[in-house]
Amino acid sequence: MVLVDPCPPEDTHKYGVVALETQDGLLNKMTGMVEKPPKGTEPSNLAISGRYILQPEIFAILADKQRGAGNEIQLTDAMAQMIGKTPFHAVKTDCARYDCGDKVGFLHANIAVGLQRPDIAPQLSAILKGLV
C-alpha cells in the first residue's frame, strides 16, 4: 500500500506516479506505477508521498540492484514488478507533502515543521522576519 496525493500535472515527471484500476474513494487498487515518467506519459497526477506498507518479497527484488530513473535503484521499480503478483493499493491523502529531494523543498519542509512547533516557532519566525 502507498499513500498518494494529487500534484500539478506539470510536476508529475519529478515523482513516482501510480496508475489505478478505478478512482473511486480513498482506497483504490493499483495497476501500475512509474518513477519520474517523461512529461506526457504519466498514468495519473497521483504522486507517491513516500509512505509504504510493503511485503517482505520486495527485498529480493531490490537485492538485484537493477538501476532505473536517475541511474538509481528505485523502490518504485521494485514495487511495479510486484503489481499483479501481489495486491497493491493506493490511499489518497490531502496531507502536506514536501519534496525533500529538492533543496528548496527540503528547506520548505523544515521551516513548515519548525513553525508548527510551539517551542521554536517564535524564534524561527523572528529569524525569518529578519531575513526578508
Residues of the chain with pLDDT under 50: none
Q: Give dist(CA 74, CA 28) in Å, integer.
A: 22
Residue with cell 523543498: 105
Q: Is residue 2 within 8 Å of residue 48, measured between CB atoms?
A: yes
> What pLDDT score was predicted for residue 70?
77
End-to-end CA distance of the chain: 42
For the chain, domains (ranges, CATH) are: 2-95 (3.90.550.10), 98-132 (no CATH)
- For the chain, give the percent of residues with pLDDT over 70: 100
Residue 114: its H or E element:
helix 103-116
pTM higher than 0.85:
no
> What pLDDT score was predicted for residue 31?
94
